[in-house]
């Protein structure tokens, strides 16, 4: 049963490129015509705090790839990944392919009682960049579809993976800075963070879900 949603009506806010480093990944890759990145205004305020914290403890800042995502785009990316795994893993049946796809993409559910995390405007994909806007080494790119994307992968494989300590330390720097200001990391994707939605609550972020689908906002 889905965690109940007590929608607070908070609007979506377009991230200002003069304030944040924005790289709308799915626009850049030709999957959508929408170039803006939108998030609930509460998340935008918290991301400002994260950037300020990062300035205090490092020379890094956030680079943001994605926020609110319509269900149609979620469905497109989900199906594309499912077909990719189907071609690569012919030994898997439909159930196993769906389970594998579900690790990296939330099912494109149109049920308002259980929207995909990004559809709420309460999920964000991001990384860290240095003073010259170079991405910090995290061990994989954003949207990597392997177990190396799991946040703690390099901690568990430090003896067999080159630069594992560096990658894990960088991931922890991002994770700790985000979680200090209310976000929760999805453990299968080092770049994905939630706040105020059902995924956030399921990860122990809080008891009251305040963000449902933001499709019409």
The 3-state secondary structure of the chain reads: CCCCECCCCCCEEECCCCCCEECCHHHHCCCCCCCCCEEEHHHHHHHHHHHHHHHHHCCCEEEEEECCCCHHHHHHHHHHHHHHHHHHCCCCCHHHHHHHHHHHCCCCCCCCCCCCHHHHCCEEEEEEECCCCCECCCCCCCCCCCHHHCCCHHHHCCCCCCCHHHHHHHHHHHHHHHHHCCCEECCCCCCEEECCCHHHHHCCCCCCECCCCCCCC
Q: Is residue 79 part of a domain?
A: no
Q: Is residue 77 part of a domain?
A: no
Q: Is residue 141 part of a domain?
A: yes
38-69 residue pLDDT tens: 999 999 999 999 999 999 999 999 999 999 99
Under the banding of pLDDT at 50, 70 and 90, the label for residue 1 is confident
Per-residue tokens: 174: 């991002």
Taking residues 88-117, what's their average pLDDT? 97
Q: Is residue 1 part of a domain?
A: no
Instruction: With a cut of 80, say whether residue 83 has pLDDT above it.
Output: yes
Cα-based torsion angle of the residue sequence 118, 121, 124, 129 in order, rounded to the nearest 10 degrees? 140
Taking residues 111-134, what's their average pLDDT? 97
Alpha carbon distance 130, 128 (integer Å): 7
Number of independent structural domains in the chain = 1
pLDDT of residue 76: 97
Q: Is residue 178 part of a domain?
A: yes
Q: Is residue 217 part of a domain?
A: no
Instruction: With a cut of 80, say whether residue 217 has pLDDT above it.
Output: no
Q: Is residue 3 part of a domain?
A: no
pLDDT of residue 169: 98
Q: Is residue 196 part of a domain?
A: yes
Domain of 140, CATH number, reads 3.30.1380.10
φ/ψ of residue 147, rounded to 5? -65, -15
Other beta carbons less than 10 A from residue 105's beta carbon? 20
Under the banding of pLDDT at 50, 70 and 90, the label for residue 161 is very high
pLDDT of residue 208: 95
pLDDT of residue 24: 98
Alpha carbon distance 171, 78 (integer Å): 25
φ/ψ of residue 149, rounded to 5? -75, -20
Provide the whole-model pTM: 0.96
pLDDT of residue 143: 95
Domain holding 23, by residue range, is 12-68+120-202
pLDDT of residue 101: 97
């Amino acid at each position: 049963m889905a965690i109940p949603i007590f929608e607070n009506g908070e609007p979506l806010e377009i991230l200002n490129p003069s304030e944040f480093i924005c790289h709308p990944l799915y626009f850049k890759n030709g999957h959508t015509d929408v170039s803006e990145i939108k998030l609930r205004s509460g998340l935008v305020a918290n991301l400002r705090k994260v950037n300020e914290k990062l300035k205090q403890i490092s020379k890094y800042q956030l680079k943001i790839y994605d926020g609110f995502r319509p269900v149609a785009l979620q469905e497109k990316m989900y199906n594309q990944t499912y077909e990719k795994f189907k071609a690569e893993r012919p030994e898997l049946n439909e159930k196993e392919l769906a389970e594998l796809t579900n690790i990296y993409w939330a099912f494109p559910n149109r049920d308002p009682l259980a929207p995909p995390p990004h559809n709420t405007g309460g999920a964000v994909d991001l990384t860290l960049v240095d003073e010259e806007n170079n991405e910090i080494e995290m061990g994989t790119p954003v949207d990597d579809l392997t177990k190396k994307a799991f946040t703690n992968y390099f901690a568990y494989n430090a003896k067999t993976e080159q630069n594992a300590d560096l990658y894990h330390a960088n991931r922890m720097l991002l994770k700790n800075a985000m979680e200090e200001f209310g976000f929760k990391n999805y453990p299968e994707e080092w770049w994905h963070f939630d706040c105020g939605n059902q995924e956030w609550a399921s990860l122990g972020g809080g008891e009251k879900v305040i963000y449902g689908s933001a499709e019409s906002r």
